[in-house]
Amino acid sequence: MEYRRLGGSELRVSVIGLGTLAMGGQAYGAADDGDSIGTIRRAVDLGINFIDTSDNYGFGRAEELVGQAIRRRRDDVVVATKGGTPWDDQGRATIDCSAAAITEAAEASLRRLGTDWIDLYQIHVPDLETPYEETVRALERLKEAGKIRYTGLSNFWVEELDAWLAVDGVVANQMPYNLLHRDIEAELLPYCRQRGVGVIAYTPLLMGMFTGRISPETVFGQGDHRASYPQFQGRPLRDSLRLVSRLQPLAADLGLTMAQLALSWVVSRPGVTCAIPGARSPEQIEENAMAGERVLGEEVIQRVDRLQVDTQVETPRTIPMKVVEVKEWAGRRLAILEVGVKVAVPPDTRTGDVIGMDIVTGRVSQLGGE
């Protein structure tokens, strides 16, 4: 396994980490706790030392499982979690990075993880209503108390990251990156390299698309968000699978599986520190971990890129979302969407409007009213 320094920190992380979103038992449907714990332990046995979780994965369940799995091996693991997206009794999420909310969230994460410190505490998404200075002060206090070692961000595009860095440093930014979602290449990756910010690639397998195990006949289980994700429907799915079938011979030539090629490609891109593929079973993490042994050369990367360009995959990314509340803040109009996300919207947006949200960048476009 290859290890890299995370941004300007003293943390050395495995290039293949482990994501625990599916273990929360919500986003990908039901999860088996025994399998989840076995997967985390197997990951650590294989040299994966970077485990990514979040307070809202299964409303705390994923953090509890991470805590149980690493209890006896805490020093072998770099634990990364996230906060800033609290939820209410009905499971309705919101975005809140106020000092009180972040402090409470970090304390709750520590309890669920059963640990005295979090190695990397990440702000899950930018909060458009809380000044970054306020959040930074809360994070500083947590650092001074020894409760978090380093801070990171997630889903901060260049504009937001630049604004954050004007207030405080961070060691990493966690962003979507895979063979079809390459938005970070244009500006964010070069910017992070220049500013010494590590980049953690999430959804590196495009939710399992690039494993070779998805087919048009795949039926996603109850509660699995892929059932309504545009890339997993109709023509975009067929296109994506055509790309997979064209990449598979190349993977075989290199002695890799499709998942390993997809992951090696991600961690071979300049500026990417590590990838955090999710896994549901020890077998999946065993396969994924092997990608950490194989950084790809420029020639292979170019072959992958050429195949991708030639295949012309349709990548639909906008999903309709209802606006449940609008408000003005600091001269901007903000909308709360039905899933609790808070976004900046054009001035004429009203409650009840349905707007389009890009599921990769979180940016919105106007679709029309009711």
Ligand X SMILES: NC(=O)c1ccc[n+]([C@@H]2O[C@H](COP(=O)([O-])OP(=O)(O)OC[C@H]3O[C@@H](n4cnc5c(N)ncnc54)[C@H](OP(=O)(O)O)[C@@H]3O)[C@@H](O)[C@H]2O)c1
Query: Where along the sequence are the contacts to ligand X (CB under 6 A)?
Result: 19-22, 28, 52, 154-155, 174, 202-208, 211, 213, 259, 276-280, 284, 287-288
Distance CA 102, CA 110 (A): 12
Shorter beta-carbon distance to ligand X: residue 353 or 364: 364
Residue 43 contacts by C-beta under 8 Å, 6 or more apart in sequence? Answer: 18, 51, 279, 285, 289
Q: Which is nearer to ligand X, 16 or 138 (CB)?
A: 16
**Nearer of residues 182 and 280 to ligand X, judged by Cβ:** 280
The answer to whether 162 and 130 are in contact (CB under 8 A) is: no
Q: How far is the CB of 201 from ligand X (least distance, A)?
A: 8
Say which amino acid occupies 341. Answer: V
Rounded Cα distance, 219 and 203, in Å: 20
How many CB atoms lie under 10 A from the CB of residue 136?
A: 20
Q: How far is the CB of 320 from ligand X (least distance, A)?
A: 20
Pair 94, 86: CB distance under 8 Å: yes
Whether 57 is catalytic: yes
Phi, psi dihedral angles at 173 (to 5 degrees) = -135, 125
For residue 243, give the 3-state DSSP assignment.
helix
Interhelix angle 99-113/132-144, nearest 10 degrees = 40
Q: Classify 139 as helix, strand or coil.
A: helix
Identify the active-site residue in 3, 28, 57, 202.
57
Closest separation in Å from C-beta 122 to ligand X: 7
The residue among 19 and 67 lying less far from ligand X, judged by its C-beta, is 19
Residue found under tokens 């954050």: 164
| Closest separation in Å from C-beta 147 to ligand X | 21
By C-beta, is 181 or 353 nearer to ligand X? 181
The full DSSP string for 163-202 is HHHTT---SEEEEE-SSS--GGGTTHHHHHHHHT-EEEEE
Structure-token match 């390299």, residue found: 193
Q: Shortest distance, CB of residue 53 to ligand X, whole angstroms? A: 6
For the bound state, the minimum distance from the C-beta of residue 351 to ligand X, rounded and expressed in Å, comes to 26
124 or 353: CB nearest ligand X: 124
Smallest distance, ligand X to C-beta of residue 299, A: 25
Q: Which residue has the tokens 């299964």?
A: 58
Q: How far is CA 359 from the centre of its chain?
A: 12
Tell me which residue of 210, 211, 174 sits closest to 313, measured CA to CA: 210
Name residue 109's amino acid.
Answer: S
Closer CB to ligand X, 95 or 349, in the complex: 95
Question: Would you please indicate which residues are annotated as catalytic (active-site) residues?
Answer: 57
